[in-house]
Amino acid sequence: MRRTLISVVLVAIALAGAACVADPPPPQQASPRSETPAGLAPAALPADLNGKIVRIAYDTGATETLTFAPDAKSVTAVHTDNRISADSRPSAPAAVVALESGVFLVTWSVAGGVNSQVQDYRTGEMHGTWSHRADPAAPLTIETRSGSVRLVE
């Protein structure tokens, strides 16, 4: 009986000690100004992409500059690849949807396919898909793409 009482008291002390832990800090919120991915300087989060110029650096080493129309309903993409000389594409229809502050779903057409990207200006990361055909008779291929994104000032 004495052992049981001591065991109950020890368990009660342990539970009381665990209940006295301080409240955890509140969750962090993304501020309208955050550090750039490299942490070099503060970067303003865009409210929209209307009339903006955006630089994408893909994990493959290729880069792309997107120039959005003033209403962001079209985009001009200039793609530079380390293996291929610069290729300027004409303006293409685009759709830009703000998912959160500083995070956008950007979709635009390319010859024979569609690019779709989540551009996160809070983290400087981009994740997306690209659909294309090697030639008009070939089946549609879908590839994933990742990289970094930043506004060009």
- 3-state SS class at 106: strand
Q: DSSP label at 32?
A: S
Q: CATH for 43-151? A: 2.40.128.20
Ordered by start, the domain boundaries in the chain are 43-151
Q: How many CB atoms lie within 10 A of CB 54?
A: 23
pLDDT by residue (tens digit) across 17-37?
544 444 555 544 444 444 444
pLDDT by residue (tens digit) across 107-139?
998 777 899 999 999 999 999 998 988 788 888
Q: Do 27 and 115 touch, CB atoms closer than 8 A?
A: no
Q: Do 108 and 97 touch, CB atoms closer than 8 A?
A: no
Higher pLDDT, 106 or 112: 106
Return the percentage of the chain with pLDDT > 90, whole number: 44
Q: Predicted confidence band at 10 (pLDDT cuts at 50, 70, 90)? A: low
Determine the Cα–Cα distance for residues 76 and 64; give it in Å rounded to an integer: 10
User: Tell me, what's the pLDDT at 83?
Assistant: 40
